[in-house]
Homo-oligomer: A and B are copies of this chain.
Amino acid sequence: MTDLLKQKAIKRYIQNDAYAKYLGATVEIVKPGHCRVYLTITEDMTNFHGTTHGGIIFSIGDIAFGAASNSHGQTAVALDVNICFLKASKPGDRLIAEAKEQHLGGKTALYEISVKDEKSGALIAKSQNLVYRKREKFIAADEMEKRQ
């Protein structure tokens, strides 16, 4: 498989995220290790105080994290995430989560994620996310399956 074909196969695999679709989030792979996710907050995504639910803010970041950490084609699973909530947001706001690789080791890798308000650029949350890198490369298997 050429590198371009491999990148396309990885992109197809990563963008097939059921939960991202359920929320209505858009996933963009900038390059291996660097992804962005976009989501417009709806009334369904609020808590009892009427602001965006912490679970949603985490989820946008987590979708970007999952995409970035798996974008090398090797299966990565989340070990630990630490998130700081800095500013409230509300329905109608469009949020952008950006995940950037900080360290890519043999068995672990570290990502930094920021969640911002698209319009104002205000920082909503920031997280530090660690994965365990399995030996499996999901793309080879996926490709073989696809060709059958």
Instruction: Using CB atoms and an 8 Å cutoff, list the residues of chain A in contact with chain B.
Output: 13-19, 21-22, 43-49, 53-56, 58-60, 62-63, 65-66, 70, 75, 77-88, 102-103, 105, 107-108, 110, 112, 123, 126-128, 130, 132, 138
* A62 → B minimal CB distance (Å): 4
Q: In this complex, what residue of B is CB-closest to A17?
A: B48
- CA–CA, A23 and B125, complex, Å: 22
* A37 → B minimal CB distance (Å): 10
A126 x B126 contact (CB < 8 A): no
Number of copies: 4
A81 x B83 contact (CB < 8 A): yes
* A65 → B minimal CB distance (Å): 8
Q: In this complex, what residue of B is CB-closest to A131?
A: B85
Taking A17-B48, A53-B62, A103-B123 as given, write out 8 further A-B residue pairs in contact, using a Cβ cutoff of 8 Å, ordered by the A residue number: A14-B48, A16-B48, A18-B53, A19-B55, A58-B59, A58-B81, A78-B85, A108-B132
Q: In this complex, what residue of B is CB-closest to A52?
A: B19
* A100 → B minimal CB distance (Å): 12
Contacts of A83 in B (CB 8 A): 80-82
* A138 → B minimal CB distance (Å): 7
* A126 → B minimal CB distance (Å): 6
